[in-house]
Each structure stands twice: as structure tokens, then as C-alpha cells.
Chain A
């Protein structure tokens, strides 16, 4: 192995991205826990802790740019580094949806929750499974796993439609509960968008592995 130092740097970049994923999964889980338990303190913590994810994205960008200038990577190395820049940007957006969910939780505040009428929690679980899988696909260069992430996104889209129907029906029956219903509709949208960004990550992974652009959405 000639370029040991370069490999070490690339691994560091990848580890930072892994850390971003871990923190984002934690943020999304906390945001949903706050939603389920109507825990305002926890929701506020999600909002505050987002800055560390933003910071990691900055570090990844700066390090990637410096590596490109210094090492002038080509072929697989170039695809790997470009994919990491794109993926870290996607992860940052996913973490923002966790923050948005936390903010929606605060807006709903304490009330009789209708969360159980929806499949939002399940939808979040599928999305977080997708996120972990897309990171594993990248690390293990597993193209089949990257494609599986795209398939899971179809399930999320289906849940999104179901939740929309359930929540709009409920709104017709109980217009007085408009604030909670609207916020849950937003969360429905946030999780669906997060899953789209995760699918983009899987596409970046597929590009890194195969050198071709795939549309997994």
C-alpha cells in the first residue's frame, strides 16, 4: 500500500460521516420519544444538539476539499470523496428534520395525542433502518444493500400516503384539533423527506461503487 497516509485520511473522513449518522439517528429517536412522551425538555435538547452535527458536516467538507487539493484523487478515490461530501450534506438535512420534528412537538405541547392513530413511528423506524443501511452499504461497498435502501423508500412513501389520509380524515371530524393534526402532517412530511435524502445517500454510494448514476427514488 503506497498511499497509507491518504488512506488514513479517507478513513477519518468516513468515520466522521459515521459519527454524523449515529448522532442523527439519536436525534431522530429522541425527537420521536419527545413526541410520544410529550417531553418538552427532550425536544429542546434535540434542537440544541443539532449544532454538533452541523459542525461535523463542516469538518468533512473542509477536510475533503483539502484532501482533493493536496492529493488530487482520481477514479475510485475521487468518487469516494465526492460521495462523502454529498452524503454528509444529506445527513445534515436529515438531522434538520429531527429538529423540525422536535419543534413541531413543542408546538403540539401537552394534549391528547393522536399519534397512535398514525403509523408515523413505524415510518420513522423504517427510515432510520434505511439510514443505517445506507451507511453500511457505503462502508462495505455493498451495492445490493444500497439498492435495498431504495426499495425501503417505497414503503416510507406508502406510509406517508396512509398517514396523510388518516390525518386529513381526522381533521374533518375534529377541526378543533387542527394544531396537533397540522403538526403531525408536517412530521409526516419531514420523515418522508428524510427518507428521500437517505435514498440520495444510497445513490451516492452506488455511484461510488459502480461509477454510474442510479435513480433509486
Chain B
């Protein structure tokens, strides 16, 4: 399986978590984004550390999801989007590369609503590796098991891998989505409100999973649930009107934020 990584990823040779203080995984410099004439992001500068959970919070329309999607160039799919500035992942400029597929292999994504294919659980998780050309059944079996274990759902589905994934509960489906992302051996996982459609217990399971996953992955999560950001993230960025108002350790943001606007937002006085 290590072969898949070296084949699939153009970036992954430069960093590995060998030190206690993790290196910067994603470096964002003076990032501006326009939807046509309308500017949605203004001079965003953020250093995202590897193997940490970074939460993006802010009111609706503040640009946090837009920013998240710049990290694996999902905004490229929208007409009229213009991006100025730089995003480096492991030192490599994301917007200078032509190989978006490799980028998205390295930077996986999980969405608000689970978007599983109408296939079996097994086929959903094996989909990406198969697209990469892996046909060996033994290797695929290994990837599927490892990914499902990594998403903390193996025990719940191991006896029905061939049944439809759409028959699972919402919380289980979301964890299958995470397994499907893990199957591609990404370095970074982006999550756009991954629990907002889930019940409280499923939410806690996914949160627990995110906390476990950070030993292997760099995770960037957009959430409307501030308590969730406080519970699971190491760093928090507060977005407002397309700008990063404050970016600091999560415990600072939620105990002694420096900017009054952050204070007002996290204490629920606007937003």
C-alpha cells in the first residue's frame, strides 16, 4: 500500500511527523478569491500545522467554506472563480500544479451530507483505489478493512460489506465517507460541516474519530457548532466577511480571544 502513496502523491516526500512540534503543512499567503466581480476572500494568511485539527468558524457567508475549498481547488469547478495569492502544501504551490487529481488524492474531503455511491459498502471504499488502477483483490481487501477501521466503523459493518451503503444510518454513512477518503491515503482531510446532519450520538462518534485521526492526518474542519470546534480542534480561525479576524490556539479563542468581534461571535452575541 505504500506504493499507492508514492504513485499517487506528488508532494508527500518532504515532511513527516518526526518531531514533537509539527511542521507547517499548509501555508496560505495573501489569498484573495473572487466569484466574478464579488470578492469572497480578502488577504487570507494562515499556517496550518500538520497532524493538528484546525477549525474554521464564522457566520454564514463569511467565506470559511470557500476558503476550505481553495485547499483542494474544489472552487475550480465553479464558473467565474478567480484566485489570487498562494497556497503551499508541503512547500508546493497548489495553484501552479496542473495535476488536480493528485492534489485531491492528497487532500481528501468529507461533506456535510454523506454522498455515498449506490453501491455496496465495500465498493464505495474500494472505488478510489480501483480508479487508481489497483485490481489485486488482496490489496483491495486490506485497504477496505484498514480504511473502515480508521473510520471506526469496521466492527459495525464487517459482516455486511456487500450490502448497500445507503442502508446504513446517517452517522454510519458519514463514517463510510470518511473511510472512503482515508482509502486514498491522503495527508490532509477537509471536512465541511461533517456532523451538521447527524444526531447527537453520531456527532460525538465522528468527533471522537476526528480526534483519533489527527495522529495520522492534518484535518481542516468547517463547523457551525462552536462547542464542536472547542472540543476537537487545536487551532481555530474566525472568519468574518471574507477575512480572518483571529487565528490562534483554540483554547485562546474560546477563553481569552483578543479581538472583540471574535469575543462577540463565540459568546453568541452576533452571528
Binding site for B on A (CB under 8 A): 1-3, 6, 72-79, 211-212
User: Which listed residue, A3, A72, A74, touches B255 by the CB 8 Å rule?
Assistant: A74
In this complex, the member of A1, A2, A75 whose beta carbon has the largest number of chain B beta carbons within 10 angstroms is A75
Q: Interface SS of chain A: helix, strand, loop or mixed?
A: loop
B161 within 8 A of A: no
25 contacts between A and B (CB under 8 A): A1-B269, A2-B268, A2-B269, A3-B268, A3-B269, A6-B268, A72-B227, A73-B267, A74-B230, A74-B254, A74-B266, A74-B267, A75-B254, A75-B255, A75-B256, A75-B257, A75-B262, A75-B263, A75-B267, A76-B263, A76-B267, A77-B267, A78-B254, A79-B255, A79-B256
A2: which B residues are within 8 A, CB to CB?
268-270
The 0/1 profile, CB within 8 Å of A marked 1, for residues 220-260 of chain B is: 00000011001000000000000000000000001111000
Binding site for A on B (CB under 8 A): 226-227, 230, 254-257, 262-263, 266-270
Task: State whether B268 touches A211 (Cβ < 8 A).
Answer: no
A73: which B residues are within 8 A, CB to CB?
267
A1: which B residues are within 8 A, CB to CB?
269
A72: which B residues are within 8 A, CB to CB?
227
B226: which A residues are within 8 A, CB to CB?
74
11 more A-B contacts (CB under 8 A) besides A72-B227, A75-B262, A75-B266? Answer: A2-B268, A2-B269, A2-B270, A3-B269, A74-B226, A74-B267, A75-B254, A76-B267, A77-B267, A78-B254, A211-B255
CA distance in complex: A204, B263 (Å): 19
Q: Interface SS of chain B: helix, strand, loop or mixed?
A: helix
**What 9 pairs across the A-B complex have the smallest Cβ distances?**
A211-B256, A74-B254, A77-B267, A74-B266, A3-B268, A75-B266, A75-B267, A75-B263, A72-B227
In this complex, the member of B227, B257, B263, B267 whose beta carbon has the largest number of chain A beta carbons within 10 angstroms is B267
B255: which A residues are within 8 A, CB to CB?
74-75, 78-79, 211
A77: which B residues are within 8 A, CB to CB?
267
A79: which B residues are within 8 A, CB to CB?
255-256
B58 to chain A, nearest CB (A): 15
B270: which A residues are within 8 A, CB to CB?
2
Task: Select from chain A the residue with minimum beta-carbon distance to B265.
Answer: A75
Task: Select from chain B the residue with minimum beta-carbon distance to A210.
Answer: B256
CA distance in complex: A72, B255 (Å): 12
A76: which B residues are within 8 A, CB to CB?
263, 267
A211 to chain B, nearest CB (A): 3
A26 to chain B, nearest CB (A): 35
A171 to chain B, nearest CB (A): 50
CA distance in complex: A202, B68 (Å): 44
A120 to chain B, nearest CB (A): 41
A141 to chain B, nearest CB (A): 13
A86 to chain B, nearest CB (A): 15
A75: which B residues are within 8 A, CB to CB?
254-257, 262-263, 266-267
CA distance in complex: A78, B251 (Å): 12
Task: Select from chain B the residue with minimum beta-carbon distance to A80.
Answer: B267
B263: which A residues are within 8 A, CB to CB?
75-76
B154 to chain A, nearest CB (A): 33
CA distance in complex: A200, B97 (Å): 59
A6: which B residues are within 8 A, CB to CB?
268
CA distance in complex: A194, B210 (Å): 48
B116 to chain A, nearest CB (A): 32
CA distance in complex: A77, B267 (Å): 7
CA distance in complex: A69, B196 (Å): 21
